[in-house]
Structure formats: C-alpha cells, structure tokens
Structure 1
Amino acid sequence: MSRPTRHVFVCTQNRPPQHPRGSCAGSKGSTALLQAFWAEQQKRQTYEQVAVTYSGCLGPCDRGPNVLVYPEGVLYSGVTPDDVAEIFTSHLENGAPLERLIAAEEVW
C-alpha cells in the first residue's frame, strides 16, 4: 500500500446515553457515517489516495458527528452520510474543503 494523500478520521466515541458530553456514535449516528465513508471509498476505488479510519473523541461532541481530514487538519462537524459523496468530491479528490461543514473557529 502506498502512502495516501489524505487521511480521514471519523469519531466513533461511544459514551453512556445520559453523558453530559454526548457521543458521536451513541445518539449522533457516526457508525453509519463511518460505513458511508468506507462505501464511498470502495465505490470510487480510492484506497491508494484516501485512508479512512475510525477514531475516539475529536473534541466538540455537542456538534458531532465529527470528521477530521489530514494533512490539512480540517475538522468537519455535524456530518451526515448524505454529506460523504460531496466531501469526497470537493475535499478528498479536488483539495477544496467543504466550507459549509467546517467546524467553527472557536471550536477548532
């Protein structure tokens, strides 16, 4: 496997239902989001260019699910499976971060 151009981390932190910070996997559906990223990666056959990995907490739990893209260090918040194809096209393939989902400066 060659070194990918971009690496996507999808928060799959799971906390108890009433935890004050919430969790991306619990009530926010990041498991389905991770599956959507893997499915899109498979559909586009971008295994050599894009790595997709699940991660623990990325920070702003109340705004999740959160996705972090390196090497740019772009944090997306409130991402849904419906956003994945657009993230792939705009950011992962064309290098233009998707402005409407970028976490606010005071958060990241």
Structure 2
Amino acid sequence: MANIIEANAATFDDLLTNDLPVVIDFWAPWCGPCRMLSPVVDEIAGELEGKIVVAKCNVDENQDLAMKYGVMSIPTIVMLKGGSEVMRSVGAVPKPKLKGDIEANL
C-alpha cells in the first residue's frame, strides 16, 4: 500500500519541495462523491508508487489551503510539479480518466 500523506498547514511546505510530482485530493468526510473517489485515488497511489506522491487534504480542516488552490467544489484533484499546478480534475471521474491525466503529466 502506498504511503498517502495528510496535507495540512504543517506538512504542505514539505510536499511542495518533493522531487516527485504531488497529487493532492481535496475532499471532505460528508461529501459522497469524495467517498467514491477516495479508493480510486488510493489505487492510483499504489500503482504509481515511486512516480508520484499522493496527499489528501480535508477542506473542512484546511480551508486556507483549499482557498489558496482555488478549490470551489469537491472532490478536486490537483497535481503539482515543482510547486506549480500541471493538472486539475473536478468531480468523481472514472479511474482510467484520472490515472491517464496524471500519467500524461509525469
């Protein structure tokens, strides 16, 4: 199982300095589509282990991070490379689409 980091104010700066691309799942526990997408993100994290770092950011607990990245609806997946956004996916998308979008930006 891949190591998935909890993204919050304390861990976020370290995420941005990572050599690997960082995929952040912005979610909330009350969000149905987020709960549907979460296992998909977990699977992709395992399949692409060593190629990406995956983090999950609870928007209820980290509203400042959600605002910083312009997250208006959840789930939102943001991929950062060198600290810059290279990919964004909003809503519960099928695994092949999400994985393909991530791999296209590796």
Runs of 4+ with >4 A deviation: none
**What's the CA shift string for 1:14-53, capped at 9, x where partnerless?**
xxxxxxxxxxx313421331221111332x3x21111111
Corresponding residue of 2:96: 85
Corresponding residue of 1:53: 55
Contact 1:9 1:67 in 2 (8 A): yes
SS in 1 for 2:96: helix
Contact 2:31 2:74 in 1 (8 A): no
Structure exhibiting the larger radius of gyration computed from Cα positions: 1
Aligned length: 77
Higher relative contact order (CA 8 A, sep 6+): 2
Structure 1: tracts of 5 or more residues without a match: 14-24, 97-108
Assess, with a 3 A threshold, how the Cα gap between structure 1 residues 4 and 47 changes in structure 2: closer, same or farther.
Answer: farther
**What's the CA shift string for 1:75-105, capped at 9, x where partnerless?**
3222x151x322222x322228xxxxxxxxx
- How far apart are 1:5 and its partner, in Å? 2.8
Corresponding residue of 1:38: 42
Q: In 2, distance between residues paired with 1:41 and 1:10? A: 11
Contact 2:89 2:98 in 1 (8 A): no
SS in 2 for 1:54: strand
Q: In 1, distance between residues paired with 2:52 and 2:97? A: 15
